[in-house]
Structure 1
Amino acid sequence: MKLTRMAVLSVAFGLSSLANADFIGLKGDISYWNFDGHTRTEHSVPGIATDLNRTYELDRQGTVQLSAAFEHPVPLLPNVKLKYVNLDNESRDSAFSSKTELTNTDLILYYEILDNIISADIGAGLAYLDGTTRISTAGLYTDYDISGSTPFLYAQAGAKLPFTGLSANAELIVTDINDTKMTDAQAELQYDFVKSIALDIGAKVGYRIMKIEIEESKNENIEYEFKGPYIGLAAHF
């Protein structure tokens, strides 16, 4: 009987510890990104020195950006994060215009190197760009297909100010493989106005810069730059 009671108490204690341990986490955020930037086309014709490059300045506009992450304690198995943003934009003047319909989805696999007052993650992932750009010049159209995926490296660093609810965070994605170059960097400040064992909710403000360069052919490139501030909400279960 004593052995049975001890076994039951041991199991109960183990389950209680398991329930209170922060060993599995879900993170999510939604924010509004107010960006501008440019679309740039680069052409080179062998034997011709004329500058055929043109930059299309984008009108400032807003979009929603989302991310979700799942973290766990299983050794050697990476954590998973998804990021999504819609980058539709348009630029127009008297004779030239550009219209882009574009989404970017990142699948990130990463490991936590530090997870305390200072946090740090490293990993890798796959960026999937899906869209097209139409350049109009005096009524003539050129369409660019920019759909495809490319691998990248990922890094994150953050810091918390104890007992204040304030924290800072920065993320970086970089790739230069095959015909695609991409840099996606963002930095933010967050204040947690709800903080408990089960749930943290915070408001954040940050700045994001995203540059994408795609080689369409040997003599033709298209480049995008999106930059601007964002505000949003984040939750950690």
Structure 2
Amino acid sequence: MKRNMLSAAAVAVAIAAAVPAQADMLLGGTVGADAWMSSAEINDAVDGGDKTIPSFYASFEHFIPLIPNARIAYANVESDAVAFKQTDFTLYYEILDNDLVAVDVGVSLIKFGDGEYNAQGHMQTFDDEWQPAIYGNAEVGIPMTPLAVFVEGNVGSFDDTSTLDAKAGMKFTIPLVAANLNLRGGYRVMDYDFDAIHNPAGSKVKLDGFFAGVEVDF
């Protein structure tokens, strides 16, 4: 009896010791922020000015196969000719995830809010608009280095509105005790045609430019 009790106690201690390590493997996520040095163009012709736009994002990943992971991203877009707040709500699955290649695929619901648009003197505000999109993220590590290249973004077309928001760049990973610190940089482009903007001068908005950011991957 005592021997069985000691064996059970040993198993219990081993399980308790293993749970934190397993939890680190089964749950994870990212938190990050970027500074985007963007240039705006309206209707393929009008210079919308240059602005540094802040953006933030966070994701949560788990071990349950059929339930998607979740991600949220926010950008306060502003230029001389257009301004709006963009929030992306994304559900996605990890298709691949290893030391060399990672691929995520999912769907996003994008909210555009507090919009102001000025094309050739025609000032207009537009109400909140929601748009669906396909989400994708692919990352390839460079062997024997802390570097990786990545491409990520949303693309969609619905109800006479087309959306493209994409990033491409590189990241440098610094291992920490309980997480990785990623330094990221690259190029971002937003290319939109808003049906909600009924402006006689047109409704096309394009912003592009380089970005730099920091990300914690835990």
The TM-score, its normalising length taken from structure 2, stands at 0.89
Instruction: Verify: 1:3 aligned to 2:4, yes or no.
Output: yes
Residues 116-147 of structure 1: CA deviation (Å, up to 9, x unaligned): 02100111020000122243756xx4414152
Distance 1:137 1:181, change over 3 A: closer
Decide whether the 8 Å contact of 1:146 with 1:214 is kept in 2: no
Q: 1:108 corresponds to which residue? A: 90
SS of alignment partner, residue 18 of structure 2: helix
Q: CA deviation at 1:180?
A: 1.6
Question: What is the aligned partner in structure 1 of residue 73 from structure 2?
Answer: 83
CA contact (8 A) 1:133 1:146 kept: no
Quick one: distance in 1 between partners of 2:28 and 2:119? Answer: 48
Distance 1:143-1:219 versus aligned 2 partners, 3 A rule:
closer
Unaligned runs of 5+ in 1: 41-53, 91-97
The match for 1:130 is: 113
Spell out, residue by residue over 1:194-218, the C-alpha distance to the aligned partner (whole angstroms, 9 max, x if none).
x145111121111111111112478
Is 1:201 the counterpart of 2:181? The answer is yes
CA distance in 2, matches of 1:30, 1:216: 29
The within-5 A match list for 1:35-74 is 35-40=38-43, 55-74=45-64
Is 1:187 aligned with 2:168?
A: yes
1:75-104 CA distance string (max 9 Å, x none)? 2111111111111110xxxxxxx3x22111
Pick the aligned partner of 1:119 from 93, 102, 113: 102
| Structure 2 SS opposite 1:69 | strand
Structure 2: give runs of 5+ residues left out of the alignment: none
Change (3 A) 1:177 1:201: same
Matched, 1:160 2:160: no
Structure 1, 156-165 or 217-226: larger mean CA deviation: 217-226
Larger deviation: 210-219 or 63-72?
A: 210-219
* SS of match in other structure, 2:16: helix
Could you tell me which amino acid in structure 2 is paired with residue 74 of structure 1?
I
Please give the secondary structure, in 1, of the residue aligned with 2:5. helix
C-alpha separation between the residues in 1 aligned to 2:87 and 2:78? 14
Taking structure 1 as the reference length, the TM-score comes to 0.82
- 2:157 match: secondary structure: strand
- Contact kept? 1:179, 1:216, Cα under 8 Å: no
Count of residue correspondences: 213
Q: Amino acid of the residue matched to residue 72 of structure 2?
A: L
SS in structure 1 of the partner of residue 195 of structure 2:
strand
Partners of 1:55 and 1:162 in 2: how far apart? 43
